[in-house]
Amino acid sequence: MKIQHLRNATTLITFGKHCLLVDPMFSDPGAIPGFKLFGGGRRANPLVPLPEETDSSLTHVTDVLITHEHPDHIDIPAIKWIKDHGIPVWASSIDTPNLCKKLPNVQEVRDGAFGARIEIIPAQHGRGMLGWFMGPVSGFYLAHPDEPSLYITSDAVLTDDLLSSVDRLHPDIIIAPAGAANIGAGSDILFSVEELVTLIKSTSGEVILNHLEAIDHCPTTRDELNQRMDAEGLGARVHIPKDGEQMHFDRPATSPYTPPEEKASASRLPGFQKWLTAKFAMT
Ligand SMILES: [Zn+2]
């Protein structure tokens, strides 16, 4: 499996015959309003351009996977690019109805897609009212028979449910957001650094951290994180890629997919998120 980190959450995952483009944000620097709503430090996003090699890397894309419809995960230039290239888009049932209004070929992710065992793992993008305000997010576990298993947590805070999914699934690779994002009021809306340490210690697999130095409301830097991971003795299995960096993972002797005993409820309501997304990203 080859994983290329492009910027923020935008990632290319090459496995089997597929090259999945996850959560594309293609906007030029400064094209999206800042996300830091209170307390100063608001700047237009993204803060940095896409890496130079983006165009050549994108020529391999076979499918797009969207974890949720926030503007740092799908934006107007990405929608145009997907349409221009006729690439199929995959998302959970939370996001497919709205994505269908903007894109011609949208499909609901289901177990067996891409020749892989797939499980959607609901993520909580904040706590309390803030979590409700941010709306539902879908993490994805993906286990292709020839590849290491992968868990994309997407935008999440640490919960018991998330930790028990890691404990059950034993993913070989986890991709998690590390910016410790906050909107300037209330608690963090992504894993804090402390929560990341707990998450990483809960797995024996490798962990790739993203959401770094690309968006105004993510204050954590790569240097800080590298130092902390080294101090915790976790540096050897934590990847903090630069934009454009490629990582290669061989298939280890993994544990087989273990489905949940009870199917998670599918009745997660989109709430305020759709309105907010339309306001920020899609107008
Ligand atoms: Zn995000």
pLDDT tens readout for residues 148-166:
999 999 999 999 999 999 9
163 CA → ligand 1 middle, Å: 20
155 CA → ligand 1 middle, Å: 5
- Model pTM score: 0.91
Place of tokens 């009745």: 267
153 CA → ligand 1 middle, Å: 11
3 CA → ligand 1 middle, Å: 18
Residue 140 has pLDDT above 50, yes or no: yes
253 CA → ligand 1 middle, Å: 32
235 CA → ligand 1 middle, Å: 24
Take residue 114 and report the two structure tokens written for it.
Answer: 């891409």
Question: What are the domain boundaries of the chain?
Answer: 2-241
Q: What is the DSSP letter of 113?
A: G
Give the mean pLDDT of 43-57.
Answer: 93
Give the mean pLDDT of 254-267.
Answer: 72
DSSP string, 32-53: B--S--SSS----B-SSPPPTT
Residue 186 has pLDDT above 80, yes or no: no
SS3 assignment, position 259: coil
Take residue 216 and report the two structure tokens written for it.
Answer: 């105004």
Residue 187 has pLDDT above 90, yes or no: no
Question: Among 29-43, 121-135, 251-265, which range has the highest average pLDDT?
Answer: 121-135
Position 231 scores a pLDDT of 97
189 CA → ligand 1 middle, Å: 9
Residues 6+ apart with CB under 8 A from 164: none
198 CA → ligand 1 middle, Å: 20
Q: Indicate the class that CATH gives domain 2-241.
A: alpha beta
263 CA → ligand 1 middle, Å: 26
Position 283 scores a pLDDT of 40
196 CA → ligand 1 middle, Å: 16
pLDDT band of residue 256 (cuts 50, 70, 90) is confident
23 CA → ligand 1 middle, Å: 9
Q: Are 65 and 106 in contact (CB under 8 A)?
A: no
- C-alpha to C-alpha distance for 260 and 237, rounded to whole angstroms: 27
More confident residue, 160 or 188: 160
250 CA → ligand 1 middle, Å: 27
21 CA → ligand 1 middle, Å: 15
> How many CA atoms does the CB half-sphere of 145 hold within 13 Å?
3
- C-alpha to C-alpha distance for 8 and 146, rounded to whole angstroms: 28
State which amino acid sits at residue 205.
G
pLDDT band of residue 126 (cuts 50, 70, 90) is confident
Position 273 scores a pLDDT of 62
Nearest to 75 by CA among 41, 139, 25, 145: 25
177 CA → ligand 1 middle, Å: 7
Q: Are 28 and 8 in contact (CB under 8 A)?
A: no
